[in-house]
Amino acid sequence: MATKFTTDDVTHIASLANIPVTDGEKKSLADGFTKTIGVVEELNKLDVSVVTAVHMTGLSNVLREDEVDKKRMFTQEQALANAPNTHNGYFVVDQLIEQDD
Amino acid sequence: MKKLNTLTLASAVKKLKSKEISHKELYADVSEAIAGKNKELNAYLALNTEAVSQAEKLLDTPLAGVPVAVKDNFLTVGLETTASSNVLRGFNPPYESTVTSRLKKAGGVVVGKTNMDAWAHGSSTETSDFGPTKNPNNLAHVPGGSSGGSAAAVAANMCITALGSETAGSIRIPSAWCGTVGLKPTYGRVPRTGVVAMGSSLDSPGPMTKTVEDAAILLSVIAGKDPYDATTGELPVPDYASNLKKGVKGLKIGICYMDHPQLKGTQTEKSVEEAGKLFEKNGATVEKVALSDQLEDNTILNPDYAVGVYTVVQRSEVSSNLARYDGIRYGHNRSTFGAEAKRRIMLGTFTLSKGYADKYYVLAEKVRNLYIKNFAQLFSKYDLLISTATPGPALKFGESEGNPLFGELTDLLNEPSSLSGLTGISVPCYWDKKTGLPLGLSIMANHWQEETVLRAAYLYEQETDFNPWTKEAHE
Amino acid sequence: MNRKRTSIRGRRRRMSEWEPVVGMEIHVELKTKSKMFCGCKNDPFHAPKPNIYTCPVCLGMPGGLPVPNKKAVEWTIMLGLALGCEIPLHSKFDRKNYFYPDLAKGYQISQYDEPFCVNGRVHLPSGDVRIHRVHLEEDTGKLLHKTVNGKKVSLIDFNRCGVPLMEIVTEADIHSAEQAREFLKKLYQIIRYLDVSDADMEKGTMRLEPNISVRPVGDTHLPAYKVEVKNINSFAFVKKAIEYETERHITFLEKGEKPPQETRGWNEDKGVSFPQRSKENAEDYRYFPDPDIPPIVWEQGYIDGLKKQLPKLPDDKFQEFVTMGFPTSYASLSSVSPSSVVFVETAYNLTVKKDPTINPKTFGDWLFNRPIDIETANPNKIAEELIQSRKVVSIPDEEIQKAISDVLAANPKAVADFKAGKEQVKMFLFGNVLKTLKGKGDKKKVMEILQKSLTV
Ligand SMILES: [Mg+2]
Ligand SMILES: [Zn+2]
């Protein structure tokens, strides 16, 4: 039973992904996802009952000492240099949630 | 006299150091090539206008100030970095990638930033928001991707050497399709710090060069532990160039994937078979490894499954990696993502979402481990696996359109090794007289075995006439 | 209206039928020198300017990669050990994906299914509280809501983004507001003893979120809903919030309704909670292991070593004071914080050295019945004062009376002045009496008798 995507699914996923999509795009996106996921579902043929996932590197406990690394730190100017909207050293964004009070 | 832009990295460094040529002469020829061809090829997105003056101060460094083309997903201070996406249009990095800072420290000069599939999402460089790059060997064809700009810049002698990055095939595919050399290092061999992340558990920056020797030289410069990338390995970095001539005598080599139905009777199959014979002639033991659906000691797990695994792992990681692009601190807002990026972000969001993560992401990671185990078994038996980097020569423009899995089908041959973090190289192994298009021989090895890969590739390059730059060096 | 009175009477009745079921989530910023996954300075509260403790990693620049802070990891393990937790030998960091402007990367690095510490327990007189888990994550940036050029905007400062943050999650074992306060006090003490955070609720380096539901007394099942209350910045307010919410839920439950599951904020001025608009999609965080960070694997020996390095904890010190002979109330006051321990121990030892007859009880009686800030006082001075106060040699009242009579007889003018209303000459006479007594006698007593003699 292959997963079939509806335009409602696309709406929900787009909202989770914070990606704006137009109603016009939704149908073809849904069809594309259905097709791609169909290929993915081939994986169900494999027996993975005894397999676990592993981290790619085979490394463990790669930690840093608790030291301030000044040479890596930005000045305020560097931090803000690429921002489209700043104010008094802050990044600025339209208010998302109306504040109570 | 031959144009200096056709020099290999090794010979350019030698000639600069011996003062046989000057930086001015070298850069004049490179600039001329760029000026003459970039409009048509669209290999470079941004150029360094101060390259010559920077280079002139670097004669006493290992790379002596040679011009290097760098894929646009490496952050470079002073050169706009966009990963070929409108989202990052105008972004001036406030810090330098580890790879390019190692390159600069060794005396390489970033001559320009090269085009790519936007966010490295693709195998053709067609998804760039700044227009596609064309294949210098045949303008009707794509250069491959995602590091298509770097491969084209090398192939068209618009630089001396180049850097690219691979998630699954993004170095090897364009190298195969442009007729250049591309080395994908072991995952963790070369730091990802300051490289726009695509699939964090897969991304491997690497050299894209004219010759195997150049790849060896460049790899020694960029490889090694980086304190800012916890996934880099501690292993010391050898001088890869000094061990190239050891040959393949005594090596055990397996030929794989060539019994895949799609490859039966193709030139690709023929070229790989001939490569096998060549290695055999030079003292290696060569045998075919059969495809199977199940994990067994002497078979290779059907790569068809890898498409599904790769799709899920990569999309999932992409959805998270591209979450930072909100246009608040830099760049533009999320409506500026191109269609392919939007598709990948959304699919990856789905494969990680509540109720589905186990069915997709977790399952994919488990199957991925099957591939890792499969390769571990194979490499207990073989030193190298050889195959083809692509099913055939470069596609025409538009051939991939309307097929969301185009990238994955083309990547098929590279995905199992990428998912397993292996190293591999593509070297030219055929040129079609009619189309002018090449094929690439793929040589893969276990983790950290770059030296063995380079040895075999070097021998192959020396013993055949497929590499135009070594051929010219012999003349 | 007599509504209020009924409600109080009603409350008493209702509270005997219903009980709150409370679990706590506590976030604590660690006071490491550098941030959790980068080398930026960790001192957002004292930063002179916004966005100066930033780098590619915590500002979410392309290509910035996290490397975990070893000290932060060790401190989290130590807190887990101090809370009686098991330390699983395999652990990892995961990405928690959601969008908010203060979250630079679009995900928070946290721990999902393999936290550093699990299954702990805190012993309390009012009932043990089990610790579900302790994990390590990173803090977000700070939003300031302002109107700039007539437009409502949020200003973002990333100085705090990436500061190491421990999250302590209890089981729903708390059944009264008082027990919650007791638990938090104990947790706070342990954190201060370990010296891993200033745990300052005003500054927000310790943040409390009770999950509250209510069930009939005698019911042992977890209710099918819970209400999370955020933005609480003192233990007292947690207590108030639990009381307030319990009342609010009972109103629903008595009508046979299930209180709605939601996240609420706490308004400390009005003493009420209010519904918070929840972040959209907040429930689907799409956790997955962070591919940028290799897993954390411990050897049991290493954990045992950390356990040995644990300093003495409040319970240990309390026991020590009790063993020394301090009454439990004084032992408890003495073990409130590491500095109180040092102070009481030092002051007591100095005092006993000077006067071996002083025992812990008399020492405590004297110390804890005066307005001394034991966090800042000088133990040397305190010991000296205590010795002095005890040096007073008591003498019979008759001797005092005699001295006073002598002084009054010798100063008839002063006595007359006093009687004419010059109150201040009393102190002159008092001084003369003390002089005559040569420092002997209780001053209070002397004053008493002097007053009496003068007003006769
Ligand atoms: Mg948390
Ligand atoms: Zn930082």
Instruction: Output C110 or C380, whichever has higher pLDDT.
Output: C110
Instruction: Output B405 or B364, whichever has higher pLDDT.
Output: B364
Q: What is the DSSP letter of B263?
A: G
Distance of CA B71 from the midpoint of ligand 2 (Å): 26
How many beta-carbon pairs under 8 angstroms link B with C?
97
Chains in touch with B (≥3 Cβ pairs < 8 A): A, C
The answer to whether residue C153 neighbours chain A at the CB level (below 8 Å) is yes
Token pair 């290779």 in the structure block, residue: B300
Peptide bond connecting B242 to the previous residue in cis, omega within 30 degrees of 0: no
Does the beta-carbon distance from B319 to A48 stay under 8 Å? Answer: no
pLDDT category, B408, cuts 50, 70, 90? low
Q: Is B11 a catalytic residue?
A: no
CB distance B414 to B173 below 8 Å: yes
pLDDT category, C5, cuts 50, 70, 90? very low
- Tally the residues of chain B: 475
Does the beta-carbon distance from C156 to B328 stay under 8 Å? Answer: yes
Domain count, chain B: 1
Using the predicted structure, report yes or no on whether residue A100 has a pLDDT greater than 60.
no
Using the predicted structure, report yes or no on whether residue C395 has a pLDDT greater than 70.
yes
Q: How far is B279 from chain C (nearest CA, A)?
A: 37
Q: Which of B347, B351, B368 should be substituted to probe chain A, the one whose Cβ sees the most A Cβ atoms within 10 Å?
A: B347
Cα–Cα nearest to C309, from C77, C32, C120, C136? C77
Among all bound ligands, the one having the nearest atom to the CA of C69 is 2
C415-432 tens-digit pLDDT: 888 888 888 888 888 888
Instruction: Work out whether strand B67-71 and strand B161-166 pair parallel, antiparallel, or are unpaired.
Output: parallel
Give the per-residue pLDDT at C278.
Answer: 63
Cα–Cα nearest to C63, from B221, B169, A17, B191? B191
Q: How far is C3 from chain B (nearest CA, A)?
A: 47
**Start-end of H helices in B3-45:** 9-17, 23-41
pTM, two decimal places: 0.91
The answer to whether residue A52 neighbours chain C at the CB level (below 8 Å) is no
CATH number for the domain harbouring residue B22: 3.90.1300.10
Does the beta-carbon distance from A39 to B408 stay under 8 Å? Answer: yes
Distance of CA C27 from the midpoint of ligand 1 (Å): 7
Distance of CA B270 from the midpoint of ligand 1 (Å): 58
Which one of B11, B165, B170, B420 is the catalytic residue? B170
**Start-end of H helices in B49-194:** 51-56, 98-105, 148-155, 172-178
The answer to whether residue A56 neighbours chain B at the CB level (below 8 Å) is yes
Q: Comparing B291-300, C82-91, C159-168, which segment has the lowest mean pLDDT?
A: B291-300
Work out the end-to-end distance of chain B between its first and last CA atoms, rounded to an integer number of angstroms: 13
The answer to whether residue B88 neighbours chain C at the CB level (below 8 Å) is yes
- Cβ-Cβ contacts under 8 Å for C236 (sequence gap 6 or more): C181
- C247-252, Cβ contacts within 8 angstroms, sequence gap of 24 or more: C247/C11, C247/C14, C248/C273, C249/C18, C249/C20, C249/C212, C249/C213, C249/C214, C250/C14, C250/C18, C250/C214
Q: Comparing B307-316, C67-76, C277-286, which segment has the lowest mean pLDDT?
A: C277-286
The answer to whether residue A1 neighbours chain B at the CB level (below 8 Å) is no
Complex-level ipTM: 0.96
pLDDT category, C4, cuts 50, 70, 90? very low
Give the per-residue pLDDT at C392.
Answer: 64
Q: How far is A27 from chain C (nearest CA, A)?
A: 23
Which one of B71, B104, B113, B210 is the catalytic residue? B71
Nearest-CB residue to B329 (from C60, C63, C67): C60
Give the per-residue pLDDT at C2.
Answer: 40
Give B327's contacts in chain A (Cβ within 8 Å): 84
Cα–Cα nearest to B117, from B82, B92, B141, B91? B82
Using the predicted structure, report yes or no on whether residue C165 has a pLDDT greater than 80.
yes
The answer to whether residue C144 neighbours chain A at the CB level (below 8 Å) is yes
> What residues sit around ligand 1, an ion, with C-beta below 5 angstroms?
C 167
Does the beta-carbon distance from A90 to C294 stay under 8 Å? Answer: no
Distance of CA C52 from the midpoint of ligand 2 (Å): 9
Give the whole-number percent of chain C exceeding pLDDT 70.
Answer: 94
Distance of CA B83 from the midpoint of ligand 2 (Å): 23
How many beta-carbon pairs under 8 angstroms link A with C?
138
Give the per-residue pLDDT at A101.
Answer: 38
The stretch B260-281 carries a mean pLDDT of 93
The answer to whether residue A73 neighbours chain B at the CB level (below 8 Å) is no
Using the predicted structure, report yes or no on whether residue B328 has a pLDDT greater than 50.
yes
The answer to whether residue A81 neighbours chain C at the CB level (below 8 Å) is no
Does the beta-carbon distance from B320 to C288 stay under 8 Å? Answer: yes
- State which residues form the domain around B185: 4-473
Give C47's contacts in chain A (Cβ within 8 Å): none
The stretch A30-38 carries a mean pLDDT of 94
Q: Comparing C1-15, C102-116, C231-245, which segment has the lowest mean pLDDT?
A: C1-15
Instruction: Output C127 or B306, whichever has higher pLDDT.
Output: C127
Give C291's contacts in chain A (Cβ within 8 Å): 55-56
Question: Among all residues of chain B, which has the CA nearest to that of A92?
Answer: B328
Give the per-residue pLDDT at C12.
Answer: 55
Give the per-residue pLDDT at B1.
Answer: 66
Q: Comparing B218-222, B351-355, C281-285, which segment has the lowest mean pLDDT?
A: C281-285
Nearest-CB residue to B75 (from C57, C63, C105): C63
Cross-strand bridge partners of residue C165 = C29, C137
Distance of CA C137 from the midpoint of ligand 1 (Å): 7
| φ and ψ at residue C199, rounded to 5 degrees | 40, 50
The answer to whether residue A18 neighbours chain C at the CB level (below 8 Å) is yes
Question: Among all residues of chain C, which has the CA nearest to that of B81?
Answer: C62
Does the beta-carbon distance from C61 to B94 stay under 8 Å? Answer: yes
- Cβ-Cβ contacts under 8 Å for C209 (sequence gap 6 or more): C24, C25, C26, C27, C228, C229, C230, C232
Q: Is B335 a catalytic residue?
A: no
CB distance B408 to B312 below 8 Å: no
Distance of CA C107 from the midpoint of ligand 1 (Å): 12
Give C97's contacts in chain B (Cβ within 8 Å): 319-320, 323, 352
Degrees (nearest 5) of the Cα angle C268, C373, C196?
65
Does the beta-carbon distance from C283 to B354 stay under 8 Å? Answer: yes
Which one of B84, B85, B124, B146 is the catalytic residue? B146
Q: Is B170 a catalytic residue?
A: yes
Give B81's contacts in chain C (Cβ within 8 Å): 62
The stretch B139-167 carries a mean pLDDT of 97
CB distance C40 to C55 below 8 Å: yes
Q: 10 Å Cβ neighbour count for B242? A: 11
Distance of CA C169 from the midpoint of ligand 1 (Å): 9
Distance of CA C206 from the midpoint of ligand 1 (Å): 12
Residue B398 tokens, joined: 């538009």
Q: Which of B326, B335, B361 should be substituted to probe chain C, the one whose Cβ sees the most C Cβ atoms within 10 Å?
A: B326
Q: Comparing A71-80, C130-139, C428-437, which segment has the lowest mean pLDDT?
A: C428-437
For chain A, the structural domain boundaries read: 7-44
Cα–Cα nearest to B442, from B245, B138, B181, B214? B181
pLDDT category, C233, cuts 50, 70, 90? confident
Q: How far is A39 from chain B (nearest CA, A)?
A: 6
CA–CA dist C364, C358 (Å, integer): 10
> Which three-class secondary structure state does DSSP give residue A83?
coil
Does the beta-carbon distance from A13 to B346 stay under 8 Å? Answer: yes
